[in-house]
């Protein structure tokens, strides 16, 4: 299974999970687009991988960074309420669905961070 197949399946899963109450996920990209025409949007960025071989098995761990882009909110308290809400959502997005795309691919959220970001010269 290729990395792109895995990223496509992760994006499909995130797009299919109900967003937090009162929110809407507009788009989820398996590969970074040139710009973000709509928000909230998720962009998947592939990271490193780790391969373990033994006992006739090969296990590959692919690290993927999931970035949720929201429109800039001038009020800090509102911004962080939104960030906390989306972070909790992404942590549970794969609960009960550890296999994706009908294959033996386990997906687990192992860490999150909060902050601001710039994408295609736009602040988020």
pLDDT at 101 over 80: no
pLDDT the model gives residue 80? 87
Q: Are strands 27-29 and 41-54 parallel, antiparallel or unpaired?
A: parallel
Q: What would the pLDDT profile of 12-33 be if each residue is shown by its tens digit?
A: 989 999 999 999 999 999 999 9
Percentage above 70 pLDDT, the chain: 94
Contacts of 111 (CB under 8 A, 6+ apart): none
The domain segmentation of the chain, as residue ranges, is 3-118
pLDDT the model gives residue 57? 86
pLDDT at 43 over 90: yes
Burial 82-109 (b: 16+ CB within 10 A, else e): bbeebbebbeebbeeeeebeeeebebee
Contacts of 16 (CB under 8 A, 6+ apart): none
Q: Residue 3: which of 49, 37, 71 has the closest Cα?
A: 49
């Amino acid at each position: 299974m290729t990395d792109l197949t895995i990223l496509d399946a992760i994006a499909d899963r995130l797009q299919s999970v109900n967003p937090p109450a009162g929110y809407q996920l507009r788009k989820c990209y398996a590969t970074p687009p040139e710009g973000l025409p709509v928000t909230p949007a998720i962009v998947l960025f592939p990271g490193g991988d780790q391969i373990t071989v033994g006992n006739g098995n090969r296990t590959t761990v692919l690290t993927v960074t999931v970035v949720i882009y929201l429109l800039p909110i001038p009020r800090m308290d509102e911004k962080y309420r939104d960030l906390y809400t989306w972070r909790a959502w992404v942590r549970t997005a794969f609960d009960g669905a550890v296999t994706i795309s009908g294959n033996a691919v386990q997906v687990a959220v192992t860490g999150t961070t909060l902050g601001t970001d710039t994408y295609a010269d736009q602040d988020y």
